[in-house]
Amino acid sequence: MPTFFYCYFLGYNRPLKFKELKMEKYNKLRIEWDCRRGMLELDKIIMPFYLKHFDELTDDKKDIFIRLLASTDLQLFSWFFNRGQSSDSEIQSMVEYIQNVQKITTN
């Protein structure tokens, strides 16, 4: 008989089996939680990208995306909307990739 764990606090309204919560290199629940930001503008960019494109990324790109999520909301807002440049070239290339995929224009 499977054991279930309800994850309402993570926004899931279905029971999850404990094996779904095990620690993996790319823990989907943890990454999805990290995609939730304090600014609506960032939520409208980062979460849809994660849901639609994360699985298609190479492992190296996934690692860069996870590093991007460690940035502050102000840094992310600057990079996505104010043409700010990250000092990390890999992060900057991921920002540009997300902008292209999500068709974000900064005028």
- Domain with 93 in it: what CATH number? 1.10.150.250
Low-confidence ranges of the chain (pLDDT < 50): 1-9
In a domain, 73, yes or no: yes
Tell me which residue range forms the domain holding 45.
24-102
Specify the number of domains making up the chain: 1
pLDDT digits (tens, 9 = 90+) for 6-33: 444 455 555 555 555 555 677 888 899 9
Q: 0.75 cut: is pTM over it?
A: no
Q: SS3 of 22, please?
A: coil
Measure the CA–CA gap between 83 and 58, rounded to whole angstroms.
26
